[in-house]
Amino acid sequence: MGLKLSALAAVSAMTLAWSGQVLAADVSRSGGAPAALGTPRERAEERVYFGDLHLHTAFSFDAYLFKTTATPDDAYGFAQGKPLKGPNGGVTTIDRPLDFLAVTDHSENLGVMRASGDPSSPLYNAPLAKSARDPDPAVSGAAFKSIIAAAKEGRIKDMFDPALARTAIEDAWAREIEAANRNYHPGKFTTLIAYEWSSMPETKNLHRNVIFRGSTAPLPFSSIDSNRPEDLWSWLERQRKDGFQVLAIPHNSNMSDGAMFDTVDSDGKPLTAAYAERRRRNEPVVEITQLKGQSETNPFLSPNDEFADFEVVSERVGSGIKVTKFHGGYVRDAYRTGLTMQESQGFDPYKFGVVGASDSHAALTPTRADRYNGAHGMTDALPQLRLSCAFCKGANDTRRFGAMGLTAVWARQNTREDIWDGVARKETYATSGPRMKVRFFGGWNLAGVTPGAAKWVEAGYRYGVPMGADLPKRPSGKAPQFVVWAVKDADGANLDRIQIVKVWSKGGHSEEQVIDVAWSGDRRKDPKTGKVPAVGSTVDVKTASYANTIGATELKGKWRDPNFDPKAPAAYYVRVLEIPTPRWSTYDAKTTGQPIPEGLPAAVQQRAYTSPIWYDVPEL
Partner 1 sequence: MTEASASSFDWQGLRKHPVVHFALIGCVLFGLNALRQGGGPSDDEAAIRVDRPRLEALAGIWTAQFGRRPTETELTSVARAWAVEEMRVREARRMGLDRDDSVIRRRLAQKYAFLVNNPANQAAPSDDALRKYLADHADRYASPSRYSFEQIFYSSDRGQSAAYSAAQAALAHPDAAKGDAFPGAPIERNATEEEVRQDFGSNFASALPRLKPGFWDGPVESGFGFHLVKITARKALAPPKFADVRGQVLADWLADAAQGAAVKANADLERRYHVSLDTEAVRGVAGTRP
Residue 32 and residue 19 in contact, taking contact as beta carbons nearer than 8 Å: no
CB of 12 to partner 1, least distance (A): 10
**DSSP string computed for 158-211:** GSS-HHHHHHHHHHHHHHHHHHHHHT-BTTTBEEEEEEEE---GGG----EEEE
Identify which of 284, 257, 322 has the alpha carbon closest to the alpha carbon of residue 426.
284
Q: Assign residue 185 a region: left if phi > 0, alpha if psi is -120 to 50, beta otherwise?
A: beta
Q: Report residue 429 CA to chain centroid gap.
A: 10
CB of 117 to partner 1, least distance (A): 12
Identify which of 378, 507, 496, 392 has the alpha carbon closest to the alpha carbon of residue 436.
496
Among 6, 345, 445, 543, binds partner 1 (CB under 8 A): 6
Q: Among 287-295, 369-377, 395-403, 481-489, which window interacts with partner 1 (CB under 8 A)?
A: 481-489
Among 2, 135, 562, 599, binds partner 1 (CB under 8 A): 2
Angle of CA points 606, 310, 229, to nearest 5°: 100
CB of 74 to partner 1, least distance (A): 15
Nearer to partner 1, 185 or 525 (CB): 185
- The DSSP secondary-structure symbol of 459 reads H
Among 548, 591, 592, 594, binds partner 1 (CB under 8 A): 548
CB of 196 to partner 1, least distance (A): 26
Three-state secondary structure string covering 98-165: CCEEEECCECCCCCHHHHCCCCCCHHHHCCCHHHHCCCCHHHHHHHHHHHHHHHHCCCHHHCCCHHHH
Residue 5 touches partner 1, criterion: CB under 8 A: yes
d(CA 403, CA 383): 13
Residue 404 and residue 252 in contact, taking contact as beta carbons nearer than 8 Å: no
CB of 475 to partner 1, least distance (A): 32
What is the SS3 assignment for 453? coil
- Segment 156 to 175, residues that bind partner 1, using CB under 8 A: none
d(CA 305, CA 497): 14
Among 56, 213, 332, 435, binds partner 1 (CB under 8 A): 435
Residue 89 touches partner 1, criterion: CB under 8 A: no
Residue 3 touches partner 1, criterion: CB under 8 A: yes
Residue 119 touches partner 1, criterion: CB under 8 A: yes
CB of 417 to partner 1, least distance (A): 16
Residue 219 touches partner 1, criterion: CB under 8 A: no
CB of 44 to partner 1, least distance (A): 10
Residue 390 touches partner 1, criterion: CB under 8 A: no
Among 491, 529, 530, 563, binds partner 1 (CB under 8 A): 491
Among 32, 97, 299, 394, binds partner 1 (CB under 8 A): 97
Radius of gyration, CA atoms only, the chain: 24
CB of 292 to partner 1, least distance (A): 27
Residue 9 touches partner 1, criterion: CB under 8 A: yes
Q: Among 169-177, 329-337, 487-495, 607-615, which window interacts with partner 1 (CB under 8 A)?
A: 487-495
- Segment 15 to 54, residues that bind partner 1, using CB under 8 A: 18, 22-23, 25-26, 47-48, 50
Among 133, 368, 437, 502, binds partner 1 (CB under 8 A): 437
Identify which of 43, 25, 34 has the alpha carbon closest to the alpha carbon of residue 439.
43
Q: Among 29-37, 267-275, 294-302, 490-498, which window interacts with partner 1 (CB under 8 A)?
A: 490-498
Identify which of 510, 514, 424 has the alpha carbon closest to the alpha carbon of residue 469.
424
Residue 93 touches partner 1, criterion: CB under 8 A: no
Q: Among 61-69, 546-554, 564-572, 602-610, which window interacts with partner 1 (CB under 8 A)?
A: 546-554
d(CA 405, CA 250): 15
CB of 341 to partner 1, least distance (A): 40
Q: Among 92-100, 335-343, 356-364, 593-601, which window interacts with partner 1 (CB under 8 A)?
A: 92-100
Among 452, 475, 595, 618, binds partner 1 (CB under 8 A): 452
Residue 187 touches partner 1, criterion: CB under 8 A: yes
Task: Give the N- to C-terminal CA distance of the chain in Å, as an integer.
Answer: 69
CB of 10 to partner 1, least distance (A): 4
Q: Please, which residues bridge with residue 540 across strands?
A: 545
| C-alpha dihedral sign at 294, 284, 107, 229 | negative
Residue 13 touches partner 1, criterion: CB under 8 A: yes
Residue 488 touches partner 1, criterion: CB under 8 A: yes
Residue 584 and residue 597 in contact, taking contact as beta carbons nearer than 8 Å: no
d(CA 167, CA 169): 5
CB of 458 to partner 1, least distance (A): 12
Residue 405, preceding peptide bond in cis (omega within 30° of 0): yes
d(CA 439, CA 44): 11
Residue 7 touches partner 1, criterion: CB under 8 A: yes
Q: Among 11-19, 57-65, 85-93, 150-158, which window interacts with partner 1 (CB under 8 A)?
A: 11-19
Q: Assign residue 232 a region: left if phi > 0, alpha if psi is -120 to 50, beta otherwise?
A: alpha
CB of 66 to partner 1, least distance (A): 23
Among 37, 40, 69, 96, binds partner 1 (CB under 8 A): 96
Rounded alpha-carbon distances, angstroms, from residue 388 to 216, 395, 580: 43, 14, 24
Which residues here bind partner 1, judged by CB under 8 A?
A: 2-3, 5-7, 9-10, 13-14, 18, 22-23, 25-26, 47-48, 50, 95-97, 119-120, 124, 182, 187-188, 435, 437, 452, 487-492, 548-549, 552-554
